[in-house]
Amino acid sequence: TGGMVTPRLVRYHLSTPLGVKVRQVAGLSEEIALSLGAPSCRVYREEGRVEVEVPRAQGQAVALLPLLDRLRASGAVVPPVTAVLGLDQEGMPLLVRLPSANVAHVLIAGTTGSGKTALARTMVASLAASNNQRSLQLVLVDPKGRGLVAFEGLPHLLVPVVTRVDEAVAVLGRLVAEMERRDAEGRSEPRLVVVLDELADLVQVGGRELEGRLVRLTQRGREAGLHLVACTQKPAAAVIGGLVKSNFPVRLVGAVTSPDDARVATGIGGTGAERLLGQGDFLVVAKGEVTRMQAAYIGEGQVRELVEGLRAGTSRPRLAATGTGGAERASKGGNGDRLAALRARLKIAR
């Protein structure tokens, strides 16, 4: 009944005869891919139709900086503390507003090569480019010292990029204390975003102390203006299942190794995340809705250029050792907490 071409996929809309179930068509995914000469395909139901997605022979990358330029040129009003993710299935910019009650914290999951760390870099870069350090502050934890260290020197950083687990435990303890101070003072600004690469490794090495601090931050952080973005390539229930089960309302899931990992990562069954293409091919899961997207990308060289540009005329904020100090006022954005098409022609998880 029609279709659509996206940067990475060709999407076919199918109408099935009465009585034919979606799972019957999905069971033929390998045969469909073979007949189309494709390495794989994904079959699912959406809006009363059966959708078949087939990878393009020559996919197109989505660069972050031109996407930011596109948003500015369109006159789109992007709320504060909103991260750019990429393009959805219809080629629309997809964003996520962290202060929303329906967002608060974000989990990024996927195997090596899925693009999860690159997506975290994109989120950090877009947040830094669109918010000054008086309204937004960042803590970056990168235990492997590869994915986020290019942001060293960013004026939004509360502390240098954390690369050791013992340092991560200490910093998270200070953040818990900051959260409690804010609760007592009734304030939530400036917004504070904590980005953790390799969550499963951090939990396994840091033990109960680190996990306990993460749980406290995810359970109580939003009201105090603290938000977590956590990446993991091991979304196994035995490793992080208890931590992520109800504490990460929004999931960004790239290619995973099995249907079980897909279910833990997305929080729902039957998404087909194990059949994603990698290299930025993601599912966005929010409020039970699943949207496929191509994540935007920014290279490490471009990150360093961005950091240098933002450093000009700015100073580094510091994490308070006591409860003193205030913050500049930041807008809380609008209402209507759902994935929706804005008048400015973008989609935003709110």
Which amino acid makes up residue 296?
A: A
Q: Which CATH architecture has domain 2-55?
A: 2-Layer Sandwich (3.30)
pLDDT value at 63 more than 90: yes
Mean pLDDT, range 334-344, rounded to an integer: 34
pLDDT value at 337 more than 50: no
Cα 113 to Cα 141, 165, 220, 229, 279: the distances in Å are 20, 23, 33, 19, 6
Cα 331 to Cα 78, 182, 243, 334: the distances in Å are 11, 17, 30, 9
Helix (H, G, I), strand (E, B) or coil at 29: helix
Structure tokens at 13: 């809309």
pLDDT value at 247 more than 90: no
Which pLDDT belongs to residue 313?
A: 55
Say if residues 104 and 147 touch (Cβ distance below 8 Å).
Answer: no
Confidence of residue 334 (pLDDT cuts 50, 70, 90): very low
Range with lowest mean pLDDT among 39-43, 144-148, 206-210: 39-43
The Cα–Cα gap between 331 and 347 comes to: 19
- Portion of the chain with pLDDT greater than 70, in percent: 86
Strand ranges in the chain using DSSP code E only, listed in sequence order: 2-5, 9-14, 42-46, 49-55, 62-63, 82-88, 93-97, 106-109, 136-141, 191-196, 226-232, 250-253, 281-286, 289-297, 340-341, 347-349
Place of tokens 């101070």: 181
Which pLDDT belongs to residue 78?
A: 85
Which amino acid makes up residue 262?
A: A
Confidence of residue 75 (pLDDT cuts 50, 70, 90): confident
Mean pLDDT, range 131-157, rounded to an integer: 95
254-264 per-position pLDDT tens digit:
999 999 889 98
Q: State how beta strands 49-55 and 42-46 pair.
A: antiparallel
In this chain, the answer to whether the domains covering 2-55 and 62-349 adopt an identical fold is no
19-40 per-position pLDDT tens digit:
788 788 888 888 888 888 887 8
Whether cis (ω within 30° of 0) applies to the bond prior to 190 is yes
101-119 per-position pLDDT tens digit:
899 999 999 999 999 999 9
Helix (H, G, I), strand (E, B) or coil at 346: coil
**Which residue has better confidence, 335 or 164?**
164
Which pLDDT belongs to residue 25?
A: 84
Which amino acid makes up residue 4?
A: M
Count the Cβ atoms, other than its own, within 10 Å of residue 21: 11
Range with lowest mean pLDDT among 209-213, 232-236, 327-331: 327-331
Which amino acid makes up residue 42?
A: R
Whether cis (ω within 30° of 0) applies to the bond prior to 55 is no
With a CB cutoff of 8 Å and minimum separation 6, the contacts of 40 are: 29, 33, 55, 275, 277
pLDDT value at 341 more than 50: no
Say if residues 222 and 182 touch (Cβ distance below 8 Å).
Answer: no
Which pLDDT belongs to residue 345?
A: 37
Q: What is the CATH number that goes with domain 62-349?
A: 3.40.50.300
pLDDT value at 332 more than 60: no
Confidence of residue 131 (pLDDT cuts 50, 70, 90): very high
Closest CA to 43 of 61, 27, 55, 67: 27
Which amino acid makes up residue 330?
A: A
Domain ranges of the chain: 2-55, 62-349
The Cα–Cα gap between 41 and 29 comes to: 6
Say if residues 174 and 209 touch (Cβ distance below 8 Å).
Answer: no
**Which residue has better confidence, 162 or 44?**
162
Place of tokens 């500015």: 72
Closest CA to 11 of 20, 1, 21, 19: 1
